[in-house]
Structure formats: C-alpha cells, structure tokens
Structure 1
C-alpha cells in the first residue's frame, strides 16, 4: 500500500517518514508535498492508499485539497494533521470522509493506531471489492454461457454493464492443430493484434473443454479476418499460427443470434475430419447445405463402390480410380451421419475389394495388410484425405502386383484428370499420390512428356476454357474466374494477360464485335 505525506514544513515531513515503521505496517512512501497545490496534483497522479495531510497549507488548504481530490474521483483515505484543535476544521474534514484528525505534536502511538486502523479498512475494502468482482465475473460467465447455448432469456440484460454491447459478433472455436498435443495456451489478443483490456474486444470462455472466443465489434472482426487471410496463405512452420486449428461461425448483429454463430463453429469443429492436409481454418461458408445435397450411407452404396473400384483396378484404369475416389470423398462430405459411421463404411469398401481381388487372383501373392490392421488404421485416422490416400496407395500396390504399367499411360490418365478437374485446387503434390507417384518424379516426367511444367499446363487448360466462357455474354469476368478455378479475379487477370496478351475484357470485346 502507498502513503503520501503533505506538510508545509519539510522537517515535519521528514519526521513522519521515521516516526513509525511504515514497512512493518505494509506501506511504502510514494511522495511528499509542501503546499496544497502540489499535494493535489500528486494525489491525483499517484493515487495513494493513504494521505497524511496538514490542515493548513500554502496555496490550497488541506480541506480544499480533500474536497477537490474527492470531486476528481479519489477514493483513498485521509489522516488530517493539525497544529491546533478546531471543531470547524474537523467537521469539514469528516464531511469529506476523513477518518482521523490528529493534533500536533504528533503522538507516535496515536499515529500508529490510526494508520493500523486505516490499513484494516483498506484490506476489508479490497476483500469486498474482490468478492464483488468475482460475483460479477461469475454472473458474466453464466450469462455468456446462456447466450452461446441459447438456454436463457437475454432480453432484459443490460449489455453495456456486462460489456457485450457491439454492432456485430462472431464465434470462434480453436484447438491444437496436432490433435495429440494438449495444454494449448495462446493469447488471442496477441494473435489478432488487438487490445482486450476489460474484455472489450472479445470474450474467452470454455464450454465442454472447448476454447470459445466471442469476437465483438467490426474492428475486432476485421482484425480476425485479416489474421485469417495471413493464416490461410502463409502459416509459418513452427509458429503459433501453424499450431492452431480454428473454426468460425457466421457473423450476427444481435446478442439473441450469437448462438447461431456458436452452433456453426461447433458443427465445423466436429467436421474437421473432412479438412485437407495443412488446412488450419474452416468457416461457416463450408458447412454443407443439407437441402441441396444428401448422401446416404448404406450397404448398396458400399457394394457399388466396391464393384466400380474392383473393375478399375483390374483394367489398370488409374484415371477412373482417381475419379471414383474423388467422387467418394465429395459424397461423404454430404453424408448426414457421424464420423464413426463413415469410417465403418470406408472399412467395409476396402475389405470387400480385398476379398474380391484375392478371389479373382488367387494364384498371386498380393501383400495385403491384415483385416485387423486395416480396421485399426482407418479408425485411428483423423482425416478423410489420409484414408483416401491409403486407398490410392493400396490400389496402386494391387495393380503393380497383378499387371504392368508405363509412365506414358499414367500421364494420359493425369491429363484426363486435369481436363475434368481444372476447376478444383489441383496441385502436383495432391495428384501424384493418387496415381502412385512421388510428386518430384512425376513433375519431371510430366515436364518431359508435355513440354511444359505441371502448373503451366493447368493454367493453359483454365485459360482455354475461360476464353470459351468469355464468348458467352451472360457471364461476368469474376464469375468466369471462379468457374475455371481462379478464386482471386486479380490473379486470373494476370494469368490471362500473360498467356493471351490482353485482358479478359479486351479479348471479349475484340471477339464479340
């Protein structure tokens, strides 16, 4: 606790410092003044817990200092010192909450008792204030939980009082990217580069062991989406960003609708199984619209996928194997069932294919993994892409065991795949495993056979299709950009001009006149 001493006589100030053992009482002397004006300024600046104040001071009287300090919000304690006993001064001092009026010469015991009593009062005040803060925070936590879970009526709540007043809100749930890592501790204020003093920018709450962030206000939401843009395009390896997985719900403009954003984020977090490799964020835009598409998992579907894939394996048709696995992956995204059922469905497909191939090629020793190891492998995988990749590798192993292939036929299959999937985010790293190749090696033979590198070929395919679409007057340039696989229209403009020599608008104008 801090004590401030004000007396017009320096010798008295010095004496008060040593009259009692301030350290023993738990105080440090934070400053002193010899006139009322300096005393007032220092009290407001230093905000001491206790002020020892001479009643008669130059420039401002002690009672005036107390009055002005109170008017400016000072809540500390005053002990008045006076060279004479005057009821009028004492009465004025008491009106402003002065607890002790000690006359000079100052008695050591009297001062000690006064300070000790004030110390006890300060400790009680702090205890009561802490208790009140704790009760308020518990109430805020309960209200916030009710808002997120939509389990209480919030219509009568004073949003300003609980710091939930804002023009828009968004719920974020985050966890470790590595699902085997625990004890995730990140300061979201540092990540978003915002100040969160008094929870003014966001609220942090745990529900069912999940870390929930409620973003508040346009400023914070904009910072979050700037953070997302950096996060999705440039997550630095080994950084906190690279260690996080984030799901975020829709933006809402009323407290009553916050639970919708929370439900979005919760559903997305449960659908992490469908994320791609190195995907660190998933947003409400990626929630499937069940009214538009629905894939039913049943025995007939698993039998049909088994039939198709068995036939493609036997005919060494890698192109159709890749297409079928892509379709399976896409359909499962719209399967309105839990992840455990999807894993059982995939396990059933694989084991049926294994049984069929073993029956057809009974004379060939195919190095299949055991059924129990397949079941365990699929059950332990966190992501669908890992299971699909396992299928691709296994089917390539079967093809190698029962027949031969050449790099030329593979390239034909890959070119076919590109020509039918150019709208997607095609990368050499994701295509190569589907066809049983190392991406680096496939890139070399692709370049040699096609006379250009993989990315350049995809750009040519996309630009050629965009030229066809530009001749149709009903589509806007940004729509064409998305249809041919460029999510960023500026990037599409840049690529189009590079390969065609003019902008999309100039091309359309020249060819439609």
Structure 2
C-alpha cells in the first residue's frame, strides 16, 4: 500500500484533507501529518512515506526547504506541493528539486485524490523497477563470483601492480585497501562424496562460512573448483589475528552440527602490501597442502619450519618413516590440483624431516617409489595403456637422481603429467555432465524455479564446481546462458504469436511481467512491444 504524509500549517485545511478523503478505500495509507516542515522532517525519517503532500508557505521551515531535505535523503519519495501563491519562482525551484506536482490552493478532495493517484502510479513503477533491479543483481551473483575468482587469481599471481589491483577491485565493488593482509584457504567436503560432487550439507556449510567470514571482516573468494579463499584485512596484526581466530572458532561450532564431513584450512603469514598478498597466499598454500598428508580435520599455519635449512649431514635414523607412504601421493593425485603440486612435495619431504630431500639415498628411493605410484595410478585408475604411459612418463635416470633440484623437478613433472591426464579424463566426464545440464535446461527453462543450485543437484555437482565447469565448457556463466536461452524463445513467440507480453513471459520462465519486461529491455535494448512492432529490424 502506498503511504501518504501531509504537512499543512492551517489546521482546518489539514483536517479537511485528512478526513474528507477515504484514503484507505482508495488504496492509500495516511501515515502521518505535521503543521510545519521542522516537525515533519523527523516524522518523515521514521515513517518514510511514498508520497509527501506539503504546503509551501509555513512557519519554522517552509515546504521548499523540507522538499529539498527530503529529496536529498529519500530521493524516491514523490512530492506534491500545495500553495496559494501564483509565483513562478516557486514552480522553478520545485522543478529543480524534483517535485512531482505543483498545485494551487484551494483544491478539492477529488482533485487532490486524482493527483495522488497519478503520482502513486510513478511510485508503483519505481517499486517494480527497484524489485526488478534487485532480482537481476541477485541473479547476476554467479557472474560476479566468477569475476571475483578471476580477480583473486590475479591478486595472488604477483603479476599485477597495486594500482591495477585496486582498480580491478573497484569495478567489483570490493574495498581491497588496508594496512595488513592475511589469507586463509578452506575446503569442506563430504566423506560420502568425491570433491566436486554435490552435497547439500557442504553447500549449507559453505554458505555459513561465507557469512561467518564476512562478519569477521574477510572478503570471500571461490578457490579453484572447490573451496574458499578468505582474505582478511585490517590496520594491525592484532585485528587480523583476532578476526581469524573468531572465524575459526565460529566455523568449528558450525562443523559440529554436521556428521560425515571433512574440513581443512591453511593460514598464511601477515603481509603489509596489496602486492604481497601473493606471499601470504603461498604460505597458506604450503599449510593447505597438509590436507593431503593427514586424515585429520584441522587448521595449519604456514611457517618457517617448512623451509630448508643449510645443514648438510643427514642421519637416516632421524627420518620419520610414517610419511614415506604412497597412499598420501595417491590421495593427492585423486584430489589435488597442479597449482598445489610443489607445496605438496615440499611438505611431503618436510614431514619426513627438515633435510630429508638432501639425503641422496632417500631421494632416490622416494623418486623411484613415486614413479611406480604415479604409473600405477595412471594405468589402473585413469585407464591409460602402457604404451601411452611410456610415451609420456619415463623412469628417473642417474643424472636426475644425482641432483637435488633435478630430482624435485622430475617428481613435480610426473605428478603434473598425471594430473593433466586426470583433467583430460574429467573433461570427457564434464562433457557428459554438460550435455545433461544443457538438456535439463531445454526441458525446464519455462520453470521459474530453475537455478544453478537446482541444476547442480540434478547433475550431482556442487554449485561452485558446476558454475566453473559451465563457464569453461560454454564460455558463459549459467545464468547468462539460461537468460539468453529464454530471451531467444521469447523473441520467437513475440514474432510468431499474438500472445500478450505477460503470457509470453510466463511461457519462458518469468511469472512477474514487470521483471520479464525489465530483463528483456536490459538484455535486448528495447521493450517486448518495440521488438514485436519491428523496431529490431531497423537496427
């Protein structure tokens, strides 16, 4: 219901307007009155009417001053000015302020009601436009998340300067400036599902993590296909550490509500510059790599303990044999990404002892074991033939095994080759998933409830994973693909049928005719009526 507020210093006139019009019967809520602008202003701040009717000539604060103040704070309020003075200067000022109507007194109740009814149409149009804009922005969140993910990739790549990063952040409405930064990488998955597959519990947990992190001052980004990157920023170390501790504490409380889930987090080191966020990310990634080296849930901080030291002597009795476990390598190959390989290998060796990789004997043993582990994974889990395998991966030779760096690079190379083969297999699987997703859209595009979440549940993927794969395979986000698909059908119906615009909107998945018209004009550059009348043919 449209709310109306009246400001009039003459008591008799004010009472007449208030009581001689049946506001409620005509669809209006008469929400308040005042005798001058000064009294009215604080009341308007509280009631926030849709239409303000005010006299111009009043004591304490006149109607033009009140109108100017109201428009500055509440630009959406429509104003009707009443005056007994035929002064063109008033009219000019009213137009400049943005007043809707300028009426001369005396005015009858019917005349005023007609004017209020006319102005209320503008109010309803603005409301519909506001709701449509809000819905459109909500639907475009998927595209924004993908853009944010791309931005985060640049933020941690060390390839962009501060000015470029700040400008990119502004375009995404992200306030990236601060004195201190730290990164927390987070992944949650169901014990019953492989990473990537859909779990409603994991979806709810990720939504909870986003809320918790945001409330504690973090900026949330999607991490690759799965997981979250939380960027904490503040003015000092204490603020950031407190916010991270609060986030972890609240997340732990969230995790306790769910069974059969696993989680792991890696925390970086605090840095002082935007361009050093990549360093914090590297420390977080180093800690995050332990996710593949343990079956425990938890959080780990990237620290100096993971760095190599200068000690040359290696005592094999100091090596921890429980970390020489090919199951850890297999776990990484199944779940890891190429961007994580280097950190995984460093922490894999560091788990055996700070200088384990410096032992020639151990390094040779691990290299050979890793080679057999990788080839076994490729042959038996990825289904590659022996001939194809031998073309891509060779056993380590004496030259490789005799040099620490060459050995490490060799292990990194063969693991990444295995991950590339896994990715190739996944592309085939993704293609099948995408075929089913596109087919599902074609069958259900007319249902307004169709969304990324419902489609993800149908193909048994997480929404974030499906969004990334959908963009990768089609070149556009899901919501844009769906919108374009619906709009093409709408245009066909506009040209080939005589059905009304609101009927066509319902046929392509938009029950709200205002939103259909808004979206059509937003995406096609003209209204449905203009399109039907052939305007598009002239362009």
Give the TM-score of the pair, scaled to structure 2.
Answer: 0.47
Higher relative contact order structure (alpha carbons within 8 Å, sequence separation ≥ 6)? 2
Largest Rg, 1 or 2: 1
